Structure 1
Amino acid sequence: MNAANSEGSVSAGSDSPAGAGSEGGRHDPEASADDGDQEHRPKKKQRSFWKELPILIGIALVLALLIKTFLVQAFSIPSDSMQNTLQQGDRVLVDKLTPWFGSEPERGEVVVFNDPAGWLDGEPTLEPNPVQRVLGWIGLMPSADEKDLIKRVVGVAGDTVECKGTGPLEVNGKALNEESYVYPGNTPCTVDDTGGQFKVTVPEGKIWVMGDHRQNSLDSRYHQNDKNDGMVPVGKVVGRAIVVAWPPTRWSTLPVPDTFDQNLSAAAPGALGLAGAVPLVLWRRRRLLVAEGPRVSGTGTAG
């Protein structure tokens, strides 16, 4: 009996620490039952990869749709109007986030914009297959339903843009050196009667755009008879093209050319008036001083 009690005591002690689940060294049947339930409870099986895959794909599609809508979207270059900056078939990434914060296009930027007034009427469109439609909808491929164009911003609100002869192109009376981006062999301006020669002032809320391949671009110059006088409403701008992402051999950024770093801003009428008034005021002040000089001297002598 003593041996049995001793063995039983050792067994109980090895099952649980001293004082745990017992009072005064007595065995706690409820604690033993809990331990047994944990041992016999079946482990939860992990969900298989194939069951989780649809969830992962759904999350990826939602993220891609959000990115396309608010951040960045890919666009394909359909023509040669922006050579050599962009080649037909290039894929560019367009920043769509900046316009959400009220930023407007600036001179020199390459922008994508919705067709403002039937510029693409009569142009052939390719019918995408179902896969291309899905990829276009989530932003992984350009959407075939969107009629978009890509050009360089030359003039913004208040600017006077002018082409005389073969150039150079002038913005607010200042000539632009466009050798770094205008297609080799092209002149900055085109001598023709359909829009190559012009002088326009860009109204508020509009921009004036031109292609880098000047002799192969139906841009603002050739749509001056539309409802916007050839201008593109800022509200039609999708965003700024920032990177050539495809093909890999063409990867490059799209910075604003140095020629737009010069001060091209149009002088405001008030500033012009002030600049003209300053010399007049100074001249008048000098005349008064000269006229008053002898009278002061004579009075002093008399006194």
Structure 2
Amino acid sequence: MVVVAALITAFLVSFVGRPYVIPSQSMEPTLHGCGGCIGDRIYVEKLSYYGDSDPKPGDVVVFVGPPSWNTRYASIRSDNAVLRGIQDFLSYFGLVPPDENDLVKRVIAVGGQTVECCDPQGRILVDGKPLTEPYVIRDHAWGSAGGRAVYPSGRVFGPITVPSGHLWVMGDNRNDSMDSRAHVADDLQGTVPVENVRGKAVFKIWPPGRIGAVDSENPQ
């Protein structure tokens, strides 16, 4: 029975979905995570993106950071070869996190769309149309100079046309998120390959006071 249960668990983790821990506050208030507090545990399912179905604008996705996004990532595996092997084995069953730089952000634009910031009201534009983003917090100017708004570094960008098979992603906590805007100078101009996506965040499973669905609200 133990072997059967382990095989079922491994199947579910590999093909259906798995839990992840939110490590930062870049997706607040949608997802909670910060130093010294209990970060949200979310369930991320893979079924939505099987076949020809790719992530859509508004989806909250977990993805592996492209190479230029990984400069601050350090392996969570033990230096001991035996322990590292055990950790790798347990990760197949969802008992240990995968050893990769998994990030969570919201899809803002998809392949073929052009994204930029900002219009006179400070809104993100996709294909020239302003987005409606009720989930966003802390996306404001720091002040003004010479009659013009002064935004945090990286707030103003583009226009950037997202390549086919890629995504432009941003955190809901805009003033505290290292997202596509922080990587516009890399080879992919800040975009993320769809093949890097691990799944769609659909449910907050912990802590009890925050259990509930993760909304995929299309800002376009």
Which interval holds the TM-score relative to the shorter structure?
Answer: 0.7 to 0.9
Q: Are residue 95 (structure 1) and residue 95 (structure 2) matched?
A: no
What SS does the corresponding residue of 1:75 show, helix, strand or coil? strand
Q: CA contact under 8 A between 1:155 and 1:202: conserved in structure 2?
A: yes
- Give the equivalent residue in structure 2 for 1:150: 104
Q: CA contact under 8 A between 2:43 and 2:203: conserved in structure 1?
A: yes
Q: Which has the larger helix fraction?
A: 1
Aligned length, in residue pairs: 202
**Alignment RMSD (CA, Å):** 2.5
Task: Output the amino acid matched with 1:204.
Answer: S
Q: CA contact under 8 A between 2:160 and 2:189: conserved in structure 1?
A: no
Shift of 1:94: 0.9
Task: Pick from 172, 182, 189 the counterpart of residue 229 of structure 1.
Answer: 189
TM-score by length of 2: 0.82
TM-score by length of 1: 0.60
Shift of 1:190: 7.9
Structure 1 residues 137 and 57, CA, compared in 2 at 3 Å: closer, same or farther?
A: same
- Give the equivalent residue in structure 1 for 2:115: 161
Shift of 1:126: 4.6
Shift of 1:194: 3.8
Q: CA contact under 8 A between 2:26 and 2:173: conserved in structure 1?
A: yes
Q: CA contact under 8 A between 1:163 and 1:170: conserved in structure 2?
A: yes
Q: CA contact under 8 A between 2:181 and 2:190: conserved in structure 1?
A: yes
Structure 1 residues 251 and 170, CA, compared in 2 at 3 Å: closer, same or farther?
A: same
Equivalent-residue separation in structure 1 for 2:44 and 2:60 (angstroms): 9
Equivalent-residue separation in structure 1 for 2:73 and 2:150 (angstroms): 23
What SS does the corresponding residue of 1:256 show, helix, strand or coil? coil
Q: CA contact under 8 A between 1:83 and 1:213: conserved in structure 2?
A: yes
Greater relative contact order (Cα < 8 A, sep 6+): 2
What SS does the corresponding residue of 1:104 show, helix, strand or coil? coil
C-alpha offsets along residues 139-160 of structure 1, whole Å, 9 cap, x if unaligned?
14533x1221110000011111
- Give the equivalent residue in structure 2 for 1:51: none
Structure 1 residues 97 and 190, CA, compared in 2 at 3 Å: closer, same or farther?
A: farther
Shift of 1:104: 0.3
Q: CA contact under 8 A between 1:74 and 1:141: conserved in structure 2?
A: no
Structure 1 residues 240 and 227, CA, compared in 2 at 3 Å: closer, same or farther?
A: same
- Give the equivalent residue in structure 1 for 2:67: 117
Q: CA contact under 8 A between 1:190 and 1:196: conserved in structure 2?
A: no
Structure 1 residues 221 and 122, CA, compared in 2 at 3 Å: closer, same or farther?
A: same
Equivalent-residue separation in structure 2 for 1:259 and 1:227 (angstroms): 26
Q: Are residue 246 (structure 1) and residue 206 (structure 2) matched?
A: yes
**% identical aligned pairs:** 38
Equivalent-residue separation in structure 2 for 1:146 and 1:60 (angstroms): 26
Q: CA contact under 8 A between 1:207 and 1:232: conserved in structure 2?
A: yes
Task: Pick from 160, 163, 169 the counterpart of residue 209 of structure 1.
Answer: 169
Structure 1 residues 190 and 258, CA, compared in 2 at 3 Å: closer, same or farther?
A: farther
Q: CA contact under 8 A between 2:117 and 2:155: conserved in structure 1?
A: no
What SS does the corresponding residue of 1:60 show, helix, strand or coil? helix
Equivalent-residue separation in structure 1 for 2:75 and 2:156 (angstroms): 27
Equivalent-residue separation in structure 1 for 2:218 and 2:63 (angstroms): 23
What SS does the corresponding residue of 1:138 show, helix, strand or coil? coil
Higher gyration radius (CA): 1
Task: Output the amino acid matched with 1:74.
Answer: P
Task: Output the amino acid matched with 1:119.
Answer: W
Equivalent-residue separation in structure 2 for 1:205 and 1:255 (angstroms): 23
Q: CA contact under 8 A between 1:166 and 1:190: conserved in structure 2?
A: no
Shift of 1:191: 2.0
Shift of 1:116: 1.3
Stretches of structure 2 lacking an aligned partner (at least 5 in a row):
34-38, 142-148
